[in-house]
Chain A
Amino acid sequence: MNDIPARRRSILSLWMTLTSQNPVIVTILALVLGFVVGAFIIIFTTATILDAFRGFFNSWGAPGHALKVTFDNVGAAYRDMFTGSVIDPAGFWHSLTTGKGWDNTLTPISETLTYATPLVIVSIGVGISFQTGLFNIGANGQAVLGGVAGAVIGSMIKLPMFIHLPLTLIAGILGGALAGALPGVLKAYTGAHEVIVTIMENYVIYAFLLYVVLSTPYQQPGQANDIGRTIHASAQLPPLFGVASGLRVSYGIFVAAGVVAFAWWFLERSSLGFDFRVTGASPSAARASGISPRAVIILVFLISGGLAGLAGVVQVASTTHYVDGTFLIGDAGIGFTAITVALLGRNKPIGILWASLLFGALGVGGRAMQAATGIPFDLATVIQSVVVLFVATPVLVKEIFRLRAGRTQALQLGTQGWG
């Protein structure tokens, strides 16, 4: 390549990178494929498009018409998804020129961040456990217990905010860590499989949640339903732009940012994180080089559970302000979504941050799309699933886009945990 000018060469190497199979490119292409698959689902489930295709051969203008209807509908769906989760350019322009209506313009991105905030935190906890080769499937229960612990501390005692809020958050971390300690200790000392224990533990914690929200000290006074007391303002993470603005995004995003920074330092720079990664990559080499598997297993579950608990309490302190009998259990459950997010983010803190934002945007945008076009919200879930499916099978992406063999890095599922 010596006779190629430097500028050409750098473009060439960029092109080589873009067309080779590296993790970032594969993830981006998986995203593209996710939307392509989503488009086909829209086509096959929208009556107007199908009607247009039914007359495909009827007249010379029909094919063009069918394609136009397709692009209109699919385009509208994805446009609504975008404007509902990130920003509406028209509204943005209006606010910019008139100086009014900023709250409405910022609502989509605020909702996306609100959704993503606890998701980042819990997903990083799950990602750390995956990097260590342990499968923490109990993040949902741990988050619930953290939320409950925080809600009790936040509502049952009264303190000035500078003590009350930290105390509430710490209570959440401890609640999650306690829930994590159980499978950790059982695995370390008896070899009980963490997947089984954590899955079962979820149900125990859900039952405990119901018990707490239906029992006297914490149940909302005067309520017969499964609703707990609302936490005091001194224990809340306030909205970033004040209560009056109506934007729900809260100071919780700083907690999430702190967790991302901590996790990056922990995994990439700390000695303990190094031990974790060695254990995850090769348990036998870890043992031979003096790392205690027991200590690592217990610590991983404490940290992973603690982060899940923090996510739960952040959800309470910033968004729901109380827990009820279905807290964090609805839909798939945040702790289960976190498994997919961690996989999509390749268990790396920065990757998980992006993946959480993507999932947040798809979730929020999906609802906006449903409201505007009538296409079911579930399309967003389908896109999420297809993206993860393709990320997990880089070979497929490579074949579809004819990528050069490059840094073939199949997704590290940390499958030692299944052994």
Chain B
Amino acid sequence: MRLELRGITKRFGSLTANDDISITVEPGQIHSLLGENGAGKSTLMNVLFGLLHPDEGEIIIDGVVTKFADSGEAVRRGIGMVHQHFMLVPVFSVTENVVLGFEPTKSLNRIDYKKATDDIRRVSKEFNLEVDPDAIVENLSVGIQQRVEILKALSHDAELLILDEPTAVLTPQEIDALMAIMRSLAASGKSILFITHKLKEVRAIADVITVIRHGKVVGTADPTASESDLASLMVGREVELTVQKDAYAPGESVFEIRDLVVRDDRGLVVVNGVSLDVYAGEILALAGVQGNGQTELVEAIAGMRPVESGTITMNGRDITNESPRKILDAGLGHIPEDRQRDGLVLTMSLADNLVLNTPRRPPFANHGTRNLGVVASHAEQLVKDFDIRATSVKEPASSLSGGNQQKVIVARELSRNIDFLVASQPTRGLDVGSIEYVHRQIVNHRNRGNGSLVVSSELDEVYALGDRIAVMYAGKISGIVDPSTSREDIGLLMAGTTAGTSSE
């Protein structure tokens, strides 16, 4: 399929999300759409997939101007979309998920499972997408689930596949496998629109790169362009991809975890005998595919999840199973994994969010009455110091971009005079510019001689920050290595040394 978007413009009120965007995808081409969060990539894809209607411009498929009333029509015209968050029913089998909404039927409207299964076998063989059609989706690893999504699109005879940030949840090995699939799809004549903000992947796989910034196409690049060139095109200024750190000079141990056991909400042991030490003046990066117990480990450290056995010690003080308030007051800074759920109160003002965990301390309150003047001036100061882009400290946190929301949390935690920082996925979903900023703040905290534990499933981040790298797999530390260790070796540790079988 040859797809052309010509002059697409989409406005939301006064905001122009897409401004006169034109791109062309040739048959058999992998076309990368590179841009920061909020650049307008998702809007463009929703226009293309019939979920939004453009205010101006046209979609041209194989030379014919086309209008989609809804996404069903886009599917019928051969456009398939693999969403960032999978749209699968966990308790259904692969077959059931693939045919969902387009079930082949026998007489009396019965679903023809045999035909469905045969179709899937045929398609998966044709494109080298190995999946067991009878497997239940919730038992599959994330990488395989994504394959099911791709299979679903292909079984509806998609000629153009839109992959929206497809690598966000994958291990390095799974990413390699996905790229192989993408190449074989392109070789068989399918067109692929690959949306991402990860520079490495773009360079590895794309035939053509289109960079979008503030809703406009700001340029196209060859895959041979350097990462820093792509980054500056994307952000609109020079970007430091790896923050400079002072020489590594670890002090004494400031944070110790011993034989920690923690259960998740379902009562399963998900942290199973973890022991870690973090020294003053170092960042210990904890790598691992999501869902291997990192989330629960951090929650246990912050006092939000009970510890079954083992101890957590900060600066010689046992904080195991203390209340969150005691732990925060003892000097723990916590950048939670889900910033919108745990880190901020989205409906409340910036100023209130900046004192979220210190509202009753002087000078912010006296004898139970809040001192709103001090709260406001404190907020003004932090907005300036931490370069938070906001029109007013009174506006609700929900009105900020993701990067600025994270800056609010970073500002709150690092301005609080803390001894030890736990940061969980501190730059997830952030754009290159904000990543650079958050990394610099964390490194500054380390350079001042403090210890930090940074949990991340992004290997780039693990390498950029870690003075030592611990890898977690299935609730255990599968290894603690030096940052000079290769990606492949860390990838193997992340997969528990047997690639492709990461468990839920």
Contacts and interface: CB of A to CB of B under 8 A. Distances in A.
Interface of A: 265, 269-272, 274-275, 277-278, 281-282, 284-292, 405
B341 A269 contact: no
A284 B326 CA distance: 17
B192 to A, nearest CB: 37
A364 to B, nearest CB: 36
Contacts of A274: 352, 359, 370
Contacts of B348: 277-278, 281
B341 A285 contact: yes
Contact of B370 (A270, A278, A291): A270
B29 to A, nearest CB: 40
Contacts of B359: 271, 274-275
B343 A285 contact: yes
Contacts of A284: 338, 341-342
Given A270-B368, A271-B368, A282 B324 contact: no
Interface string B19-38: 00000000000000000000
Nearest to B375: A274
A149 B45 CA distance: 65
B341 A405 contact: no
Nearest to B326: A290
A412 B343 CA distance: 21
B341 A282 contact: yes
21 contacts: A269-B369, A270-B369, A271-B359, A271-B360, A271-B368, A271-B370, A274-B370, A277-B348, A278-B356, A282-B345, A285-B341, A285-B342, A287-B342, A288-B304, A288-B343, A289-B328, A290-B323, A290-B325, A290-B328, A291-B325, A405-B13
Given A271-B365, A277-B348, A278-B348, A288 B372 contact: no
Interface in B310-332: 323-329
Nearest to A282: B345
B169 interface: no
Q: Which 5 residue pairs spanning A and B have beta carbons closest together?
A: A290-B325, A289-B357, A271-B360, A288-B342, A290-B324
Interface string B461-497: 0000000000000000000000000000000000000
A287 B325 CA distance: 9
Contacts of A275: 359
Nearest to A286: B345
Interface size class, chain B: 20 to 34
B263 interface: no
Nearest to B329: A290
Contacts of A272: 368
B334 interface: yes
B257 interface: no
B153 interface: no
B328 A271 contact: no
Contact of B336 (A271, A278, A281, A288): A288
B168 interface: no
Contacts of A285: 341-345, 356
B347 interface: yes
B304 A287 contact: yes
Nearest to B357: A289
Most buried by B among A274, A285, A287, A292: A285
Contacts of B327: 290
Nearest to B365: A271
B287 interface: no
Most buried by B among A272, A275, A278: A278
Contacts of A265: 369
A288 B370 contact: no
B123 interface: no
Contacts of B334: 288
A271 B325 CA distance: 14
A269 B370 contact: yes
Contacts of A270: 368-370
B302 interface: yes
A290 B343 CA distance: 11
B338 to A, nearest CB: 8
A269 B367 CA distance: 11
A275 B341 CA distance: 16
Nearest to A292: B323
Nearest to B352: A274
Nearest to B341: A284
B376 interface: no
Contacts of B323: 290, 292
A275 B364 CA distance: 14
Nearest to B328: A290
A270 B359 CA distance: 9
B459 interface: no
Nearest to A283: B341
A25 B490 CA distance: 59
Contacts of B177: none
Contacts of A281: 345-348
B484 to A, nearest CB: 35
Contacts of B372: 269
Given A270-B368, A282-B347, A284-B341, 5 more contacts: A271-B360, A277-B348, A282-B341, A285-B356, A289-B324
B328 to A, nearest CB: 5
Contacts of A289: 324, 328, 356-357
A405 B14 CA distance: 12
Contacts of A278: 345, 348, 352, 356
A285 to B, nearest CB: 5
B420 to A, nearest CB: 16
A274 B356 CA distance: 9
Contacts of B343: 285, 288
A172 B424 CA distance: 49
A262 to B, nearest CB: 12
Nearest to A279: B345
Contact of A282 (B302, B346, B369): B346
A223 to B, nearest CB: 47
A271 B372 CA distance: 11
A413 to B, nearest CB: 13
Most buried by B among A270, A282, A291: A282
A271 B302 CA distance: 22
B483 to A, nearest CB: 30
A265 to B, nearest CB: 8
Contacts of B336: 288
B334 to A, nearest CB: 7
A36 to B, nearest CB: 30
B289 to A, nearest CB: 23
Contacts of B347: 281-282
A24 B502 CA distance: 54
B33 to A, nearest CB: 30
B357 A290 contact: yes
A413 B445 CA distance: 41
